[in-house]
Amino acid sequence: MLLRKISKSIAAFVVYVMCAYGYLTAKGFVYDGNQFILTNKAEASDIREFQISEEDIRALGDQNAPLTMYIVSAVTCSHCRDFHKFTLPKLERDFISKGLLRFVYLHFPTDETTMRAAKLSYCLPEDKFYDFIDDLYSSRDWQFTQNEDILINHAKKFGMTDSDIDLCRENKKITSDLLRIRENVFNTFHITATPTIVVKSGNKIEVVEFNGYEDLKKHLETKLSKQ
């Protein structure tokens, strides 16, 4: 009886491994003997399929940079936080500060909390946008509470008054703009997770999947070499 149970457990494990292997290889991963490595990148599409107005953009870097990177993020997403904290500073050092890359943060609100935070970021002066995003990623107190005042207090650190907050809440245009951006990126790139990295080069735009910063850096350098 015990032997039969062990055999069934082994068989179930083998099936699981085979299914997992099949899924990963179908997604473009190969096993190098130690780990699965992503070998393919998403194909580029025509830039005309993806249009974001300058009014909607909050950017770092030169508007005329040869490459533009859009990061589709949610301010409650831990992986987005890691990208913002660890990868963005390297992009600033290697590309943005040198005029090679324009970086654009696109909110992908998934619930009422992320929508509130996204709206507040757009109600702030543009030069405070990234400071506010930094502050939200550095703090978790506002995420796990129904007390909206905690989030509002973060915005007040950047100069917003009670009157500003009230006007922001009532601003239906910002809500509509944020939902339009979310719909645009979802329909164009079939976003299933955040963060999603999208790179525009010339008249082409593509979703970029990468395995660590050096892989991303190499991909951007290859793009730049073809300019």
List residues bridging with 204 in a β-sheet: 46, 201
Judge if 8 and 100 occupy the same domain: no
Q: How many structural domains are present in the chain?
A: 2
> How high is the pLDDT of residue 24?
38
Judge if 167 and 191 occupy the same domain: yes
Judge if 110 and 216 occupy the same domain: yes
Judge if 30 and 119 occupy the same domain: no
CATH assignment of the domain containing 172: 3.40.30.10
- pLDDT over 90 percentage in the chain: 61
Judge if 96 and 17 occupy the same domain: no
**Residue listed under structure tokens 């580029």:** 44
Task: Identify whether the C-beta of residue 118 lies closer than 8 Å to the C-beta of residue 179.
Answer: no
Judge if 22 and 131 occupy the same domain: no
Q: What's the pLDDT tens digit per position in 141-184? A: 898 888 899 999 999 999 999 999 999 999 999 999 999 999 98
Judge if 20 and 65 occupy the same domain: no
> How high is the pLDDT of residue 187?
87
Closest CA to 217 of 92, 73, 40, 35: 92
Q: What's the pLDDT tens digit per position in 11-62? A: 444 434 344 444 333 333 333 343 333 333 445 555 556 778 888 899 999 9
Residue ranges in 40-147 assigned as alpha helix (H):
78-82, 88-94, 112-123, 129-138
Judge if 104 and 206 occupy the same domain: yes
Q: What's the pLDDT tens digit per position in 87-125? A: 999 999 999 999 999 999 999 998 999 999 999 999 999
Per the structure, the complete domain to which residue 96 belongs is given by 45-225
CA dihedral (199, 205, 211, 217) positive or negative: negative
Judge if 139 and 212 occupy the same domain: yes
> How high is the pLDDT of residue 226?
87
